[in-house]
Amino acid sequence: KQEVTQIPAALSVPEGENLVLNCSFTDSAIYNLQWFRQDPGKGLTSLLLIQSSQREQTSGRLNASLDKSSGRSTLYIAASQPGDSATYLCAVSHDLPYSGGGADGLTFGKGTHLIIQP
């Protein structure tokens, strides 16, 4: 059974710092990995998706890397801002038996609660 772990569980840093959030998974047979942001009381916003054949993806100040063989991903946030304060969730999907694909649910970590101090 796939297990996803995120470290640290919580992080508080001053504005402007570069930071790294870590995600690890026990079963390397993943199809893709997604990073999400969740604001308090809200749903999930997809930040980056990395296919299993890729090593990294970038969007603005965010960069996510994937080392499938070692079961690790990192989310790098450059020049952090108070608006980045949220919970960041990592999730993996898996190869499927379906010919159509795309129907597998995601296995999530518990998230990293991030606070950026002004």
Q: Which residues bind other proteins (CB under 8 A)?
A: 4, 31-32, 34, 36, 41-46, 49, 51, 89, 91, 93, 98, 100-103, 105-111
In the complex with other proteins, the residue whose CB is nearer, 60 or 105, is 105
Name which of 18 and 26 has its Cβ closer to other proteins. 26
Is the CB of residue 4 less than 8 Å from the CB of residue 91? yes
- In whole angstroms, the minimum distance from the beta carbon of 63 to other proteins comes to 17
Residues near 100 by beta carbon (within 8 Å), at least 6 away in sequence? none
35 vs 84, beta carbon nearer other proteins: 35
Partners of 100 in beta bridges: none
| Separation between Cα atoms, residue 65 and residue 2, nearest integer Å | 19
